[in-house]
Structure formats: structure tokens, C-alpha cells
Amino acid sequence: MKILEENTQNPEIVEYLKTPPDRHMLNQIISQGIAARDLIRTGETGFSVH
């Protein structure tokens, strides 16, 4: 964070547990080449693969 600020970058900090991304944001992330499966929090309690 400090390096970004030193280089005049002002990143926006998003706490996704408090404000989850909407469908539009998820589509933007996926369109950048990140697989939808990689967005799933598989280590959370209650997650299971059927």
C-alpha cells in the first residue's frame, strides 16, 4: 500500500465480506481473464463440492 501511495496511486480498498461484488463487477473481473472458479472461497465453513 505504501509503495502505491508513494507512486501517486490511490487504491480503493474494498472489504468484500462487507460489500460483496455485484453481477456487473464479477463480470468485469472475469472478463480480465480470472476464472469464475477462482473467485469461489472454497476454504469457508459450509463450502462443499457435490
Q: Where in the chain are the domains?
A: 15-44
**Residue 39's pLDDT is what?**
87
Q: Concatenated DSSP letters for 1-50?
A: -HHHHHTT--PPP--TTTS---HHHHHHHHHTT--GGGGS-TTSTT----
What pLDDT was estimated at residue 18?
Answer: 93
Q: Is the pTM of this model over 0.75?
A: no
What is the pLDDT tens value at each position of the chain, 50 positions in all?
788 878 887 778 889 889 999 999 999 999 999 998 898 888 888 777 77
Query: How far is it, in rounded angstroms, from Cα 4 to Cα 49?
Result: 38
Q: Quote the pLDDT of residue 33.
A: 93
pLDDT score for 2: 81
